[in-house]
A and B are shown apart, each in its own frame.
Chain A
Amino acid sequence: MSSTVDQLPVGIAACECLTPLGNAPATVAALLAGRRALAMQPVLGRDGGDLVPLALLGPMDETLPPRWLPNLRGLAAAIPAGNWGTAREPVIVTSSNFGVGSLYAFTRDHDAHHLAHGTPFASVALLRREFGWGEHITVFSHACVTAHLGLAHAARLLHGGLADRVLVFSFDLVSPFVAGGFHSLKILNRQMPAPYAVRETGSIGLGDGAAFAVLSRAAAPFRLAAHALHNEMFHFTGNQPDGAGFAACAASIATAVGGRRVWVKGHGTGTLEAGRLEAQVVAKQFPGAPLVSWKGSLGHTLGSCGLVELAIALAAMRGGKIPGTVGGQAPSYADSVALEPFASAGFDGTVLTSNAFGGAHAAMLLTHD
C-alpha cells in the first residue's frame, strides 16, 4: 500500500520545547550527558499504584488552574511577536491529552472547577485567553502523530497562500488517567525503556512535553522539506506483523530525501515489536543512516512528541552533536541504532518519524543550508 508525501518546503522561523530537562538546548546538553529524565513514580500519582517510569515537570496530580498552564506560560514567552490567531497568522494547537487530567481530577475529587478545563476546546480557549490569540485556531488530535499533522497542515496553509506565518503549538502533560491506561496495557511497567534493544520484555516511559514552531515560506537556515503520512488501518493497538505500515511511510519520505545523507530520529518508545519493525525498516530504507530515539530519557510525550523532538533535533544540529539513544543497550534490532552521540557534520538532512495507535505513521524531512 502506498502513502502520500507532501513536498511543500517551509522555513522554521522559530522552534522551542519544554521537557523536564529544560528548554531545547538544556535538553540536548542533558541527553548528550546520558541523563534520564525518567524516574520510577507511582502510576496513579497521589493514589499510588505500581512504580513506573515517568518524566514529569512536577507532581502529576491535576491542579487548579491546571498544572500545564504555568509551564506553558514559560514556553510561550519564547514565541516571536505576531498577530497570532488572525487569518494571516493562524495558530494550530496539537495535543493528544489536552485537559484530560482535569476530567480525572473531577471524577476523583468531585470539584466541578476542574470541568472548566477538561475538554480539548476548553483547554484551547484557556490558552487563547492566556496568550491573547485571536479566533483563527485549528485544533488537531490524532494520537501520537498529532504534531506531525499540525506541521503538515501548516505547510499546506502556507503553500496555499492562506497564511503568511503559522504557529504550531503542542502540549501533552501526563495524567493518572493516561498513565493508568498505558499501565493496563502492560507496556508501561516496572522497567525503564530501552528503545530498539533486544530483550525479554518491552516497556515505555511517559513524559511531560510541550513545544512550538513558527513556520513561514520565507527563507530560513532550517526547513521542513516534506511530510509523509500513512495509516495502515490494521488494528487499534497493533501493527501489521510484516512491518508494511512502517515501510510504506518510510518509502514515501525517502522519495523526498533523494541523495541526501540523513540521520533518523525514530519513534522508538521501547516496545519490542514496534521497535524491531521500525529499526529494520529504517536500516533497509536509509542504509548507513544512524537511528536514535530519545524516549528512553524523556519518555513518550504522546501527541506532542513530533514537535518536541523536532525542537531537540534543531538544537542538537545547531550545537553540532546529536545525542544517542539514551537508555538503549546492545544488542539492538539494527546495527544502525546509535547508542552514543555523534557529530552532525556531514549530514544534510534528518528524517523524523512518529507512530501512533490506530496504525498511523508519520515522517518529516528536516533540511538545512
Chain B
Amino acid sequence: MSDPFTVRLKTLIITTLKLDGVQPGDIPDDEPLIGSPRFGLDSIDALELVLVIEKEFGVKIGSSEESRQALSSVSALATYLRTRTAGAA
C-alpha cells in the first residue's frame, strides 16, 4: 500500500496532467511513468511535471538526465524528493 507521500505525488500527477478518471490507486508505484502505454505520458508531460514539482517542493532539477531518473516511477520520484527536501515525507 502506498504511503501518504506517495499518494500525494500521485494526486499531483493526476491533477497536473488532467488524467481524467484516474485515481491514485490506479498508478503503480514502480511502473515507468514516461512512455507508459497505460497512461500515455510523454516528454511534454514530463516538462509539465518537472515545473510543478520544482514549484511544489522547492527543488531544482539540474538536467534532463536527472529529470528522467526522477520521473522513472512514482517510487523513484518519492526517493528523489525525500533526499532533497526536509520534511517531505
Contacts and interface: CB of A to CB of B under 8 A. Distances in A.
Interface of A: 50, 184-187, 189-191, 200-203, 235-238, 271-272
B63 interface: yes
Contact of B51 (A50, A184, A190, A238): A184
Contacts of A186: 50, 61-64, 66-67
A271 B64 contact: yes
Instruction: Please indicate which of the listed interface residues B50, B51, B65, B66 has the most CB atoms of chain A within 10 Å of its own CB.
Output: B65
Interface of B: 42-44, 47, 50-51, 60-67
B22 to A, nearest CB: 22
A201 B42 contact: no
B84 to A, nearest CB: 15
Contacts of A50: 60
B34 to A, nearest CB: 10
Given A184-B50, A235-B43, A237-B44, 8 more contacts: A185-B43, A187-B63, A201-B62, A201-B64, A201-B65, A202-B65, A237-B42, A271-B64
A185 B64 contact: yes
A320 to B, nearest CB: 38
Nearest to A201: B63
Closest 5 CB pairs of A and B: A201-B63, A186-B64, A237-B43, A201-B65, A186-B67
Contacts of A236: 42-44
A191 B51 contact: no
Contacts of B60: 50
Contact of A200 (B43, B44, B65): B65
Contact of A202 (B42, B43, B44, B63): B63
B42 A235 contact: yes
Given A184-B50, A184-B51, A189 B62 contact: yes
Given A184-B50, A184-B51, A186-B50, A203 B63 contact: yes
B63 A238 contact: no
A300 to B, nearest CB: 15
A185 B47 CA distance: 6
A190 B42 contact: no
B23 to A, nearest CB: 28
A325 B50 CA distance: 32
B47 to A, nearest CB: 6
Contacts of A201: 62-66
